[in-house]
Amino acid sequence: MADRIESVDATPTKRFLLDIVTRDISIVAAILDLVDNSIDSARELRPDGDFSGIKVAIVATGKEFSIEDSCGGIGVEKAKEYVFRMGRPDDVVSAPGSIGHFGVGMKRAIFKLGSSFIVNSSTEQDDFTIEIDADHWFSAADWSFPMIVHDRRDNAVTGTTILVGDLHPQVIRSFENVEFMAELADELRSRHRLAIGNGLEITLNGSLVEPADSTVAVSDLIEPSIRSFTVEASDGGLLRVTIIAGVSAQLPGDIDEDGEPESQPRAAKDAGWLVFGNGRLLLANDKSRLTGWGSGRKKLPQYHNQFARFRGFVYMQSVDASAIPWNTMKTSVDPDSPLWAQVLEQMIAAARPIIDLLNYAKVERQLATPDMATPIIDALRSSTPINALDAAEAKFSMSMTDLREQFVSDAVFPTPNPEFVGAWKKIAYAVDAEAFSVVVAATGKQSAAEIGRISFDAFYEDIVEA
């Protein structure tokens, strides 16, 4: 019998595909993806980046979820060709500087939240509505979504509204949970701080979302470390990078910069690296090996609250979103990306003088007596916070090769008191916790470093100088 060729159906089922793409994304990340789409539309509407007057309104309750924006809308042809497809077709090019790239964000987010949805969008030219019940769509062989194209209404707001119904039980529980809603507000505030800072108005259940802080300390004596350069991707695309590493002007009162790492269960919330890709925050206050912490004494040490003032900002921009080394959920970077490896190398170099500054500050805090000069501490106290992007105007004229060969603006700060440099020894030892509490009560000192200093001085006076 002769061999023959037959076809084997390898088409994925709808339910299986959506289960795979929604399984690993959180509810918060799904909502952030929808906001990403609105911001991409805002960029197309306002290429100059001024989002004043543009709004994104999010409603998340136990009954429904909706997101409504005034960002210009989705054209009918775009909707038909690729917006509602699961994955971006090869011949579709992302808008310059966009956040969306992989072509799964909106669909994945909608199905993560509920089993039915209505999308209505209006542009200056056209207007459409798509309404889907997931159970009916799953049972149909056809993968397409029915679209109703309306006659353009003269008074229609140019923008997009997404209403998700039949919310999944876990989504309902989350939206009814106060702590979850606070987390969602914090993520919106943090992840989209640049867009909000450029005028975009985001509301959550009617409350305005204020942008998170993005400042570094500056003064005549304190300046951040700044590096701006370009990296070429393997396909020829250019990734423009600005790195700003500095310190905060102030710290929360409950952060002990001088406590030993093992005695500090809570790291400073705002310390670490903030990494942005085309304006979207990918890493928030990261203190892990991913951003260089723990890479070695001559690079960056393990993070602990001695470095609670550290503030690092990395701004990666590319016309082609594929050049951004981010993961598919845009909640982190791709640690295996060769582009990220080059950026990380410069992050470590920019951060090193800031670490030195904070090391000197700790020495001054621990060793200075009232009659000694403390130039580093004085400089920190006299500094004021400014927006990190205002600390230097990004000029993407350097290549990585140029960066290594030419002058790079690094942090400057006063020379530390020479009495402290190489003239002191650090002593560390453990004591019984109950005994330590007795000494705290007797001395009124809370810091282990202060008590250690007092105990050594007492021993020296009683035994050595006696």
| 250 within domain boundaries | yes
Residue 9 forms part of a structural domain = no
CA distance 309 to 283: 18
- Has residue 94 been placed in a domain? yes
123 lies in the same domain as 53 = yes
For position 263, which CATH number holds? Answer: 3.30.230
Shared-domain flag, residues 200 and 284? no
| CA angle (13, 19, 25) in 5-degree steps | 145
Domain assignment present for residue 242? The answer is: yes
Structural domain for 154, as ranges: 14-208
* 214-240: average pLDDT: 86
The answer to whether residue 74 is domain-embedded is yes
182: alpha, beta or left, given left = phi > 0 and alpha = psi -120 to 50?
alpha
Predicted confidence at residue 81, as pLDDT, reads 78
Which has the closest alpha carbon to 71: 41, 98, 34, 31? 41
The tally of domains found in the chain comes to 3
On whether both 56 and 201 belong to a single domain, the answer is yes
CB 451 within 8 A of CB 431: no
CATH code, domain with 204 = 3.30.565.10
Asked if residue 422 belongs to a domain, the reply is: no
Same domain? 78 vs 159: yes
User: Where a domain ends, among 357, 386, 405?
Assistant: 405
Residues 447 and 396 in one domain: no
Residue 302, pLDDT > 80, answer: yes
Question: CA 186 to CA 189: how far, in whole Å?
Answer: 5
225/351 same-domain check: yes
Write the pLDDT tens digit of every residue in 6-65: 888 776 676 766 676 677 789 998 999 899 889 988 988 998 889 999 999 999 999 889
Concatenating the DSSP letter of every residue in 182-238 gives: HHHHHHHHHHTHHHHHTT-EEEETTEEPPPPP-EEEE-SS-B-EEEEEEEE-TTS-E
Q: Which two tokens stand for residue 303?
A: 């993070």
pLDDT tens, residue by residue, 128-171: 998 988 888 777 777 778 889 988 776 777 999 999 999 999 99
User: Do 167 and 316 share a domain, yes or no?
Assistant: no
| 39 and 175 housed in the same domain | yes
For residues 308 and 185, membership in a common domain is answered with: no
Q: Kindly report, residue by residue over 237-250, the tens digit of the pLDDT.
A: 889 999 999 999 88
The verdict on residue 336 lying in a domain is: yes
Calculate Rg over the CA atoms of the chain.
Answer: 27
